[in-house]
Amino acid sequence: MMNILKIWLRAIRAPFFTAVIIPVILGTSIALHSRGQFNLFLFCLTLAGVVFANAGTNLTNDYYDHRGRSDPLNKNPTPFSGGSRVIQNGLISAERVLRAALVFFVLAISIGLYLNHICYGNIILILAFLGGFLGFFYTADPLRIGYRGIGELVVGFELGPLLVLGSYYVQTQNLSWEPVWGSIPVGLLIALVLYLNEFPDYEPDKKVGKKTLVVILGKKRALNYYCLFLGLTYVWIIFGVLLRIFPFLVLITLFTLPLSFKAIATARKNFDKIYSLIPANAATVILHLSVGLLLSGAYLLDTFL
């Protein structure tokens, strides 16, 4: 039983659920800061809904990347690239992976419909539909968004502004630009997580015509954009504080700068070395987690101090 559970946790890529948990925490923190509103039950429901949706998306991606041959052709998978490998290693059949994905989507849709029912208007329905649509068709036919050079932008939008605003709306039932501005750093960072994870997949993606930005730009040029947008993340935070869009305490995120410099240095040295790049992949994931938590903590501290 434990082995089966471990296999399914690997298939849904549970350790990477932070990609959706962080924006929910941030959106909820901004709601408490700006409106003084927090409902624990709604927060937990939102978390459950986005985790189910993310599990469904991860399984769908595995299924369609298997069908599209990019994962089977990948002979050098890493913990951050090449899919979960449960299909390729014969641990779960492709058909079972797709069925499980649909179950998770049904669970996510059920929670979304309930939240929409108890919230004013149909804002949650619109946001949830858009998020589910983008998640499912990221690799699914006929759109295959991740194969068309816009996948990174879509993920940044979906797990940044879309999810932070949705979490904010669940708590406040109001729309505001504040959660949108606050979401940009986590949106940029999760896009960079995906972007850097595409470097090890360059060859198999290129062979099957999966036009990620790394494939389109080539590894050398793509590395420059990684460095640029990582820097812009901090520029956005600093200007947000200077323009009084963010509370002053948001500057605590600057404590993550040394990790950013380390990630950039490692990526510059090893961008064309699959396994030597892993520390940079890990550092980018940690940056998303730590910046997201520090942003949320800054809003909460500013609320109570």
The pLDDT of residue 121: 87
The tokens describing 171, both together, are 């708590």
Phi first, then psi, for residue 78 (nearest 5°) are -130, 175
> What whole-number percentage of the chain has pLDDT above 90?
86
DSSP string, 189-234: HHHHHHHHHTSTTHHHHHHTT-B-HHHHH-HHHHHHHHHHHHHHHH
Model pLDDT for residues 226-235, shown as the tens digit of each residue: 999 999 999 9
Reply yes or no on whether the pLDDT at 1 is more than 80: no
- CA dihedral 59→60→66→71, nearest 10 degrees, is -60
The CA distance from 62 to 60, in Å, is 5
Do 88 and 71 form a contact (C-beta atoms < 8 A)? Answer: yes
**Cα–Cα distance between 168 and 174 in angstroms, integer?**
8
Which own/partner contact pairs does 141-145 have at CB distance under 8 Å and 24+ positions apart?
Answer: 141/64, 144/64, 144/68
CA–CA gap between residue 241 and residue 254 (Å, rounded): 12
pLDDT of res. 2: 64
Backbone φ, ψ for residue 236 (5° rounding): -60, -45
Q: If pLDDT is split at 50, 70 and 90, which confidence band does 100 have?
A: very high
What's the pLDDT tens digit per position in 176-219?
A: 999 999 999 999 999 999 999 999 999 999 998 899 999 999 99
| Main-chain phi, psi angles of 8, to 5 degrees | -70, -35
Percent of the chain surpassing pLDDT 70? 99
Percentages of the chain per state (helix, strand, coil), in multiples of 5: 75, 0, 25
Q: Over the stretch 31-56, which tens digit does the pLDDT of each residue have? A: 999 999 999 999 999 999 999 999 99
pLDDT tens, position by position, 113-129: 999 999 988 999 999 99
DSSP code per residue over 257-271? HHHHHHHHHHHHHHT
pTM value surpassing 0.85:
yes
